[in-house]
Structure 1
Amino acid sequence: MNRNLPTLTPEITEAFQPAVLEVIRNSIAPTANDQEFLLFAHKAASYGLDPFKNEIFFIKYGSQARIQFAAEAYLSKAREQEGFIPPDTQMVHENDEFKIAMNKETKQMEVVQHEIGFPRGKIIGAYSVAYRDGYPPVTVIMDIDEVSHMFTGQNKDNWNKWTSDMFGKHVQQRALKKQYGLSFEDVTITQNDVPQPVTQARKDITPNQEQLEPPVEQHVLTRADELREVINTKLKQLGIKTKKALKEYLDKNAPNIDPETATEAEMVGLIELLDLNIEMLTTQTSNNDDLLE
């Protein structure tokens, strides 16, 4: 059954035909309400991203929805920039001859030697060099320890099987972001249903008693409460549903955060980490679907 589409922005109308929008809504964002779908479609249209190519995702959880930009979005938009040159992304194995050094002119770390032989051994790192005509190269180098949590988390089987692909996309995204000035900010949509402070007083109807009972104050969610709700929702998305699993996750990824005493800044940082994990999980799931075709 077709659903009526909300009033569309000019950007959406120009980017997508009505029939295409119908498919996007029914297959890619079936749980979105009108306003959520409008924002999702507008973001995709404004940035020129293709939901069918997994460049942008819509994810709904509870009363919140999230619009996420995939690693493919960075490569797609970099291709449109003047002077685009394909990036060079490589894995570094334990038996490779690999050296990096500081470029005295640019003050940036650069790969000065990378020679391989066989057997190469296990992957121990990765780097991506984002080139652009008329600009100095931008190199991002990562030790595998920086993504170690991916190999022991819920998606560990896929990370161990397609390490090169997933690790490469992750480091390449960072390099393209720096070289081409790309910045896609994920959007979290929260329904405006947070209760407002209300104090209610009611009269006891017991005969011959006119005294009013003490006011009954409704609970109001604080900023910390809201952040904890977001964190709990994201943990469930990653399959972390027990205290033991939470402790293992925090011990490996955020050992300095105590759930009972975490500050708002610490909780925001944890949310960003969880978003990265969810994005990588979503991207990997998409890759798996492609491999099965």
Structure 2
Amino acid sequence: MANELGIFSVDKLNMTTIKDYLKGGGQASDDELILLINLCKQNNMNPFMKEVYFIKYGNQPAQIVVSRDFYRKRAFQNPNFAGVEVGVIVLNKDGVLEHNEGTFKTPDQELVGAWARVHLKNTEIPVYVAVSYDEYVQMKDGRPNKMWTNKPCTMLGKVAESQALRMAFPAEFSGTYGEEEYPEPEKEPREVNGVKEPDRAQIESFDKEDYAARKIEELKEKAQPQKEVVEETGEVIDEITAEDF
């Protein structure tokens, strides 16, 4: 694998290589692989160096997303690039919006957005983008997923920076989307003997006491003596005493 990466050339990228070495490649359709190959060749991207991600779960359509680091790397190679600034937009305790430098906020500030500014040498006005937290936070089972729970400022800052770089260099990044802008695919639940594993919402709403009480009632019902009806006479016989009722 190391040798394959060391001699990687986007011109030699093919379906066999992707199926053999790229995670999810073996599950993809030919059309999905062709789309990935064409995107990589068009933008000179290396999927094995995490410049572009190929996300495939089960029978769900594949997602092809570009890393923020690739946008930044390509921007720094452009002679017209003069720097980028990134920050978050917060609501302070007095209900006033503030634009923080960098992806940092204090505990008493509420994250509501992020901003990015790309400076170009051939224009006095920088390219500016501001994004809303509510529009881009990725949810899972009704709440922010793990990454957006642990690093919301970082994730939203990446969204703003990726958008600003795409806007500043449309010829470089046309038709691409950043990893932070795609919703996390829902993994299909496993199924064993016709029973599907519970999802997160079902697990969290599970009431142990109620379940235990219902099981106890079921056991009590099973432990009750069963009564048998004799078809010929219509008599009810107790299984334990064998006496008529």
The 1:166–1:53 alpha-carbon spacing in structure 2 relative to 1, beyond 3 Å, is: farther
Partner of 1:179: 168
1:49-82: CA deviation from partner (whole Å, max 9, x where unpaired):
1213333222345274443334444333323322
Matched residue type, 1:184? G
Of residues 124, 136, 139 in structure 1, which corresponds to 2:112? 124
Quote the offset at 1:130 in angstroms: 1.3
Distance, in Å, in 1 between the alignment partners of 2:42 and 2:49 is: 16
1:156 correspondence with 2:149: no
The 1:91–1:65 alpha-carbon spacing in structure 2 relative to 1, beyond 3 Å, is: closer
What 5-or-longer segments of structure 1 have no aligned partner?
A: 1-12, 100-110, 187-233, 246-293
Larger radius of gyration: 2
Q: TM-score, normalised by structure 2?
A: 0.52
The 1:150–1:133 alpha-carbon spacing in structure 2 relative to 1, beyond 3 Å, is: farther
Matched residue type, 1:51? P
Quote the offset at 1:35 in angstroms: 5.2
Partner of 2:42: 46
Partner of 2:186: 238
Secondary structure at the counterpart of residue 83 of structure 2: coil
Stretch deviating more after TM superposition (27-36 or 174-183): 27-36
Equivalent runs, 1:1-293 vs 2, <5 Å: 14-15=9-10, 22=17, 25-28=20-23, 29-34=25-30, 36-60=32-56, 61-62=58-59, 64-95=61-92, 121-135=109-123, 136-148=125-137, 150=139, 153=142, 155-181=144-170, 182-185=173-176, 237-238=185-186
Secondary structure at the counterpart of residue 184 of structure 1: coil
Matched-pair contact (CA < 8 Å) for 1:151–1:159: no
Matched residue type, 1:27? L
Structure 1 runs (4+) greater than 6 angstroms displaced: 116-119
Quote the offset at 1:25 in angstroms: 3.8
Quote the offset at 1:48 in angstroms: 1.2
Distance, in Å, in 2 between the alignment partners of 1:25 and 1:171 is: 34
Matched residue type, 2:21? N
* Aligned length, in residue pairs: 171
Secondary structure at the counterpart of residue 92 of structure 2: coil
What 5-or-longer segments of structure 2 have no aligned partner?
A: 1-7, 190-198, 200-245
The 1:34–1:143 alpha-carbon spacing in structure 2 relative to 1, beyond 3 Å, is: closer
1:171-204: CA deviation from partner (whole Å, max 9, x where unpaired):
1111112111231247xxxxxxxxxxxxxxxxxx
Matched-pair contact (CA < 8 Å) for 1:95–1:117: no
Quote the offset at 1:134 in angstroms: 1.5
The 1:162–1:235 alpha-carbon spacing in structure 2 relative to 1, beyond 3 Å, is: closer
The percent of aligned pairs where both chains have the same amino acid is 20
Q: TM-score, normalised by structure 1?
A: 0.45
Secondary structure at the counterpart of residue 112 of structure 2: strand
Matched-pair contact (CA < 8 Å) for 2:18–2:26: no
The 1:184–1:73 alpha-carbon spacing in structure 2 relative to 1, beyond 3 Å, is: farther
Quote the offset at 1:41 in angstroms: 2.4
Matched residue type, 1:80? Q
Matched residue type, 2:77? E
Matched-pair contact (CA < 8 Å) for 1:150–1:156: yes
